[in-house]
């Protein structure tokens, strides 16, 4: 009787662990990566930008991330965007020296 109960409990916990692991990895992967689907036409204040990410799919874009974690997608072809990228890169290299 003890063996039967132990086997049932083992299968139960194994099932719970499997469901939790699969659900956690699939949903967290989808939430981790943000994609630009449309672009802002507004010029942003470079002082508020702390990071950027380049994206080519589904559209060619630069995603700026502000100090508050807000993500804003813009066209990489604009001159101010190139200036902002250069400024962020310079700040990053200055911190690592």
* CATH number, domain with residue 91: 2.40.50.40
**For residue 6, what pLDDT is reported?**
64
Same domain? For 18 and 45 the reply is no
Same domain? For 11 and 38 the reply is no
Same domain? For 21 and 67 the reply is no
What's the pLDDT tens digit per position in 8-64? 655 554 555 454 444 444 444 444 578 888 999 999 999 999 999 999 888 999 999
Same domain? For 47 and 79 the reply is yes
Same domain? For 2 and 47 the reply is no
Residue 84 reports pLDDT greater than 90: yes
Residue 77 reports pLDDT greater than 80: yes
- Distance CA(17)–CA(69), nearest Å, equals 32
Domain of residue 1: give its range.
1-33
Q: Is the bond preceding 58 in cis, omega lying within 30 degrees of 0? A: yes
CA angle 59, 89, 77 (to 5 degrees): 35
Same domain? For 21 and 54 the reply is no
Same domain? For 38 and 8 the reply is no
pTM above 0.85, yes or no: no
Same domain? For 9 and 29 the reply is yes
**For residue 58, what pLDDT is reported?**
87
- Distance CA(88)–CA(52), nearest Å, equals 8
């Amino acid at each position: 009787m003890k063996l039967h109960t132990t086997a049932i409990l083992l299968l139960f916990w194994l099932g719970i662990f499997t469901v939790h692991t699969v659900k956690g990895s699939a949903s967290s992967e989808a939430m981790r990566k943000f994609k630009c689907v449309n672009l802002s036409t507004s010029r942003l204040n470079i002082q508020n930008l702390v990071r950027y990410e380049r994206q080519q799919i589904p559209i060619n874009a630069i995603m700026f991330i502000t100090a508050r974690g807000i993500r804003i997608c813009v066209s990489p072809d604009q001159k101010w965007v190139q200036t902002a990228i250069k400024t962020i890169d310079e700040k990053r290299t200055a911190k690592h020296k």
